[in-house]
């Protein structure tokens, strides 16, 4: 629908609200509504409208990975109330174990099977900031959001994502340097926290937008950051499992270069300037220049690389590519 802009006074522009919409929410003169800026548009919402943002999912017949996807979808989309229906006869495996078959994730295998639907829903709900089970019934639960996200909370959560990934990167390189692999025992916990704050950021974006009006670019950046964190988790697994068989003189320099590159991007994201863009590009050239040197060094010491060495090296290369993609998105945010 279209509305004409009406000038009132010297500096005020107004538009009228659709009468049907106003009647649906029983709005009258003097009532307050929320107005959010979203890229090329404005979003009007009422307190009642936010409270009634409900949906329903049925987890009967779904496996654990699918249940996670449903929960992530309704959470990220910004629903304030979710009715979760289930089959009381079904049992599930550990909600976290399916994604972490790594040796160091022992705490996630204490109870492998036998989770009831309610136990499963509770475990999964705990992973989402602000979500709580408010009602238990025979074959369904009611989950509600306990607070409304704000742009300030978005800034805090986004920085937390960066810091957690940086921690994963530093721990991985430190384990390669010292062979003290115990520092990687909790890397899966760190990755879960990355996912938690990542999903919260997406929830805020869907409900309020991004203050720089580049919401779609921020969505893409968050998606790549989450993938990048998964790469560091996989590196941690290989180091923890087979550090004794890894040729550190070949792998370690690559890890240090990638750690530096991520640190540069972290700085650039919050303090953008062209010189930092060039620094990251130079670091990327340095990483790619190391590739032939890596293979040359490796083949001198032994005829072929171990599977774990190749896996670790591949993960580092992939992280470097992700950082370059993030750099492109960050530059685009400036326009």
Cβ 246 vs Cβ 308: under 8 Å = yes
Lowest pLDDT segment from 123-132, 177-186, 192-201: 177-186
301 vs 240 pLDDT, higher one: 240
Q: pLDDT averaged over the chain?
A: 85
Same fold, 54-145 and 151-332: no
How confident is the model at residue 49, as a pLDDT? 45
How confident is the model at residue 36, as a pLDDT? 67
| Residue among 88, 87, 71 at smallest CA distance from 79 | 71
How confident is the model at residue 142, as a pLDDT? 98
Query: What residue segments make up the domains of the chain, in order of their start?
Result: 54-145, 151-332
Q: What is the DSSP string of 18-44?
A: PHHHHHHTT--TT---EEEEETTEEEE
d(CA 183, CA 159): 22
d(CA 181, CA 242): 10
**pLDDT for 139 beyond 80:** yes
243 vs 183 pLDDT, higher one: 183
Lowest pLDDT segment from 269-273, 282-286, 292-296, 310-314: 292-296
CATH 3.90.1200.10 assigned to 151-332: no
**pLDDT for 74 beyond 50:** yes
Cα dihedral: 291, 293, 296, 302 (round 10) = -80
Query: pLDDT tens digit string along 191-242?
Result: 999 999 999 999 999 887 766 558 899 999 999 999 999 999 999 988 887 7
d(CA 218, CA 76): 14
How confident is the model at residue 324, as a pLDDT? 96
What percent of the chain shows pLDDT beyond 70?
84
List, in sequence order, every residue forming a beta bridge with 35; answer none if it has no partner.
44
How confident is the model at residue 210, as a pLDDT? 67
List, in sequence order, every residue forming a beta bridge with 8; answer none if it has no partner.
12
How confident is the model at residue 280, as a pLDDT? 96
**pLDDT for 68 beyond 80:** yes
How confident is the model at residue 25, as a pLDDT? 65
CATH for the 54-145 domain, from 3.30.1380, 3.40.1710, 3.30.110, 2.60.120: 3.30.110
How confident is the model at residue 242, as a pLDDT? 72
Lowest pLDDT segment from 6-10, 53-57, 209-213: 209-213
**pLDDT for 38 beyond 90:** no
Pairing of strands 12-14, 6-8: antiparallel
159 vs 211 pLDDT, higher one: 159
pTM here is 0.82
What percent of the chain shows pLDDT beyond 90?
54
**pLDDT for 51 beyond 80:** no
């Amino acid at each position: 629908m279209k509305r004409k802009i009406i000038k009132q006074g010297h500096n005020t522009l107004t538009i009228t609200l659709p009468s049907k919409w106003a009647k649906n929410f029983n709005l009258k003169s003097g009532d307050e509504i929320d107005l959010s800026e979203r890229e090329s548009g404005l979003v009007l919402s009422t307190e009642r409208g936010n409270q009634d943002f409900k949906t329903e999912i049925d987890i009967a017949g779904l496996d654990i990975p699918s249940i996670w996807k449903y929960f992530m979808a309704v959470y990220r989309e910004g629903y304030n109330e979710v009715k979760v229906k289930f089959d009381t006869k079904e049992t599930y495996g550990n909600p976290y174990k399916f994604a972490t078959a790594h040796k160091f994730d022992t705490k996630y295998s204490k109870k492998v099977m036998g989770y009831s639907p309610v136990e499963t829903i509770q475990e999964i709900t705990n992973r989402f900031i602000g979500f709580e089970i408010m009602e238990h019934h025979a074959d369904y639960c009611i989950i509600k959001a306990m607070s409304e996200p704000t742009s300030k909370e978005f800034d805090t959560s986004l920085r937390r994502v960066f810091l957690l990934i940086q921690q994963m990167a530093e721990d991985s390189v430190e384990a390669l340097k010292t062979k003290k692999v115990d520092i990687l025992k909790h890397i899966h916990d760190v990755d879960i926290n990355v996912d938690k704050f990542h999903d919260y950021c997406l929830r805020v974006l869907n409900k309020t937008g991004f203050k720089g009006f580049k919401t779609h670019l921020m969505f893409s950046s968050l998606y790549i950051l989450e993938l990048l964190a998964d790469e560091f988790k996989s590196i941690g697994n290989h180091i923890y499992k087979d550090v004794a068989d890894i040729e550190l003189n070949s792998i370690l320099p690559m890890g240090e270069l990638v750690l530096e590159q991520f640190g540069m991007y972290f700085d650039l994201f919050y303090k953008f300037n062209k010189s930092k863009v060039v620094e990251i590009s130079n670091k990327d050239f340095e990483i790619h220049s190391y590739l032939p040197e890596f293979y040359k060094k490796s083949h001198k010491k032994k005829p072929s690389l171990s599977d774990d060495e190749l896996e670790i090296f591949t993960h580092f290369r992939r992280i470097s590519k992700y950082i370059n993609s993030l750099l492109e998105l960050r530059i685009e945010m400036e326009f």
